[in-house]
Structure 1
């Protein structure tokens, strides 16, 4: 199954929207250069830990998602879009 240009654009836009939301909600609030080094490192590790936790939740959702959605996601991953 190949993604159409429209589906590729939709996937790209969804990623960009998610990144913008995360920046607006969290990253814009933090000035990494103003934090002590240990806090900067802790902040990055916390983001990584949260990403891993949410990744596990999404994997669970993928297991119960309709086949067509899973195939679309796999195609996007294979194409290097995600």
Structure 2
């Protein structure tokens, strides 16, 4: 099992903080949609990179990347009043 690098820890803490703010900070609907779109987009990118780099569980990683990408697009649509 590999250890996380400082940049990865920073991104993980940033995403966790944004998620907690979204859940408990009661932001406006557009701010909440923007934060969730960014979090889902980051997750989609992470799963896409894992699918590209690793042979094992490639189908599952592609599935998760697709799901998170669709969630990000849905939140971005809400952000722009769709």
TM over 0.5: no
- The higher-RCO structure (CA 8 Å, 6+ apart) is 1
Q: Could you tell me the TM-score, scaled by structure 1's length? A: 0.38
User: TM-score if structure 2 supplies the norm length?
Assistant: 0.38
